[in-house]
Amino acid sequence: MNELEDIEKIDKMVAKSSFLPDFMRNKLTINIISVFIVLVICFVALKLVHKIIRKFFNTNKNKLKRNPAKLETLSRIFYSVIRIIIIFIAITMILDIFGINTSSLIATAGIGGIAIALGAQTVIADFVKGVLIIFDDKLRVGEWVACSGVEGTVEEVNLRITKIRDYNGSLHIIPNSNITNVQNYNRGAQKSEAYFCVSNDTKLEDVKEMIEAVSQKIKSMPKYKKAFIEDLSFFEITEFKDFSYKVRVTSLVKIGTQWEISRKVRELIKIEMEKRNIKSSLLEEEIYEKI
């Protein structure tokens, strides 16, 4: 009798030991299937969000009135933020499937996030300012700007830094949080100006006649004839010196041509002054003669 009882106990133990792995295998299979479903939903959601964002920016391109490159950057920013949120939700669901307590994990992540945020305020400020710079379209790659004490060509604009190369060739890497006022020389018509001195005995009428001749000459050049919005003209006498006075001439030109035209105007004025025998100042012997 005791032997029979022992055999029955052994059979029950064997039955239990064979049932446990089956149960565990069934649960593991369900968990794997659940994880697969979550991953599929996550993948489909990411594809759908990407398509919606692309469609929104493409259909509203004319309404937003932004540079295509800037719209592309903005669409990527929005997609990156939403992608992080979706992936975080998917990871949380997967951890829940395997019985891991995500509430404590989220709380820990929240505390850690606050600590990181406090330690990285400048980085966050750079990121936020970068988004605003791109969205407001303050500057673009290739434009000549002045900001944060630097003047030069914009080489790169991203979410953290802006790279500007100055006239001397030096590359300035500026954190976006430091960019406040931006002076952009590539938006709309620009004023081109030049200064020169003539001797005090030069009549102002002769100076204005010379400026008109220079204006007609530069406008007749194929390279510059379409660059002028307003012709070169006399603007003012800026300064009286002991033996000369300083003249300022201005013109309104197309973007990006103002500096080249200013250089050319100064060159033509010099040539015209030599041709007309107009001096920039009285010579020493002439001064003595007048005395």
Q: pLDDT tens for residues 135-155?
A: 788 888 888 899 989 999 998
Residue 38: the pLDDT is: 87
Encode burial over 187-207: b for 16+ CB neighbours within 10 A, e otherwise: eeebebebebbbbeebeeeeb
Confidence grade of residue 192 (pLDDT, cut at 50, 70, 90)? very high
Phi, psi for residue 17 in degrees, rounded to 5: -65, -30
CB-based contacts of 101, cutoff 8 Å, min separation 6? none
Task: Report the SS3 class of residue 137.
Answer: coil
Domains of the chain in sequence order: 2-119 (1.10.287.1260), 137-184 (2.30.30.60), 190-282 (3.30.70.100)
| Residue 112 reports pLDDT greater than 70 | no
**What was the pLDDT predicted at 19?**
46
pLDDT over 80 (residue 99) = no
Average pLDDT of the residues in 258-279: 94
Q: Which range is least confidently modeled, 135-144, 165-174, 228-237?
A: 135-144
120: Cα within 13 Å, side-chain hemisphere: 12
Of 2-11, 90-99, 131-140, 181-190, the poorest mean pLDDT is in 2-11
Q: Please provide the DSSP assignment of 43-86 as one string.
A: HHHHHHHHHHHHHHHHHTHHHHT--HHHHHHHHHHHHHHHHHHH
pLDDT at 220: 93
Its pTM stands at: 0.56
Q: What is the pLDDT of residue 33?
A: 85
Task: Tell me phi and psi for residue 278, to 5 degrees.
Answer: -95, 125
